[in-house]
Structure 1
Amino acid sequence: MSHEKFQACIEACVECAQECERCADACLSESNVAKMADCIKTDRDCAAICWTAASLMSRGSQFADSVCKLCAEICDACADECEKHEHDHCQKCAQACRNCADQCRQMAGVAA
């Protein structure tokens, strides 16, 4: 598997991971942090799997397809959670998650 072939997916994963990291951090600064707990947890999980997926694709791992399938699932869950909140950081994160999920499904050959 050539990493160049999956460059768009790698970039989507990195962008998503960065947005999730920013969102989790921004959620910690919201007035009602307890209300944001599920968002923070999901952001952290999503960032972790996105970093992992980008890494595996970059080195052409045989497990990249499987990880990308899981990444798409977690990105969808994160987008669903972030879309519950009106904060700009949550909305940006949700958009990045939707894009990443789409890219990961294409990379792994999974129908949406």
Structure 2
Amino acid sequence: MVAQLTQCIRLNLDCADICTAAGHIASRRTGSNEPIIQSVLRACEEACRLCAEECDRHASMHEHCRICAESCRRCEQACQAALQTFH
């Protein structure tokens, strides 16, 4: 069973790291670094999408995967909304 969750766990950890970095960088929003903020938000959006998709594969067997998938989708949507503020 653990072997089946290896990719899921890796995506969870990668996603958490990217989300943390995106939060730190986006909270320092200034006009001079908007391209960097946009890039990190796009990376966070993608990481959350991939993580949610992977967790969905295990959600019927593991409650924590269902919760993780829901959280990742909310974060993905938040990144999309934040990106819209740049247009």
Using structure 1 for the length normalisation, give the TM-score: 0.66
| Residue aligning to 2:44 | 71
| Residue aligning to 1:5 | none
CA distance in 2, matches of 1:104, 1:64: 10
Post-superposition CA distance 1:49-91 (Å, at most 9, x none): 0000000011226221210011101100000000000211100
Matched, 1:53 2:22: yes
CA distance in 2, matches of 1:105, 1:67: 12
CA distance in 1, matches of 2:49, 2:24: 20
The Cα RMSD (Å) is 1.4
Residue 97 of structure 1: SS of its match in structure 2? helix
Residue 71 of structure 1: SS of its match in structure 2? helix
Whether the 8 Å CA contact 1:66–1:108 is kept in 2: the answer is no
Q: Considering Cα pairs closer than 8 Å and 6+ residues apart, tell me whether 1 or 2 has the greater RCO.
A: 1
| Residue aligning to 2:63 | 88
Post-superposition CA distance 1:6-27 (Å, at most 9, x none): xxxxxxxxxxxxxxxxxxxxxx
* Structure 1 unmatched runs, 5+: 1-31
| Residue aligning to 2:84 | 109
**Identity percentage of aligned residues:** 39
* Structure 2 unmatched runs, 5+: none
Question: After the TM superposition, which parts of structure 1 deviate over 4 Å for at least 4 consecutive aligned residues?
Answer: none
Matched, 1:40 2:15: no
